[in-house]
Amino acid sequence: METSLVTTAFTLDGYRIVRTLGVVRGITVRSRSIIGTVGAGLQTIFGGNISLLQELCEKTRQESFSIMVQHAQAIGANAVIGMRYDANEVMSGVTEVLAYGTAVVVEKA
Distance CA 59, CA 49 (A): 16
Of 84, 78, 70, 74, the closest CA to residue 20 belongs to: 78
Domain that holds residue 90: 3-108
Question: The CATH number of the domain where 87 resides is what?
Answer: 3.30.110.70
- Say if CB 85 and CB 28 are below 8 A apart: no
> 87 vs 1, 32, 95, 99, CA distance in Å?
25, 15, 7, 9
Helix (H, G, I), strand (E, B) or coil at 72: helix
Determine if the pTM surpasses 0.85: no
What tens digit of pLDDT does each residue of 51-101 get? 666 777 888 999 999 999 999 999 999 999 999 999 998 887 788 999 999
What tens digit of pLDDT does each residue of 2-61 get? 889 999 999 999 999 999 999 999 999 987 655 555 555 555 666 556 566 677 788 899
Distance CA 96, CA 32 (A): 12
Distance CA 41, CA 19 (A): 48
Count up the domains in the chain and report the number.
1
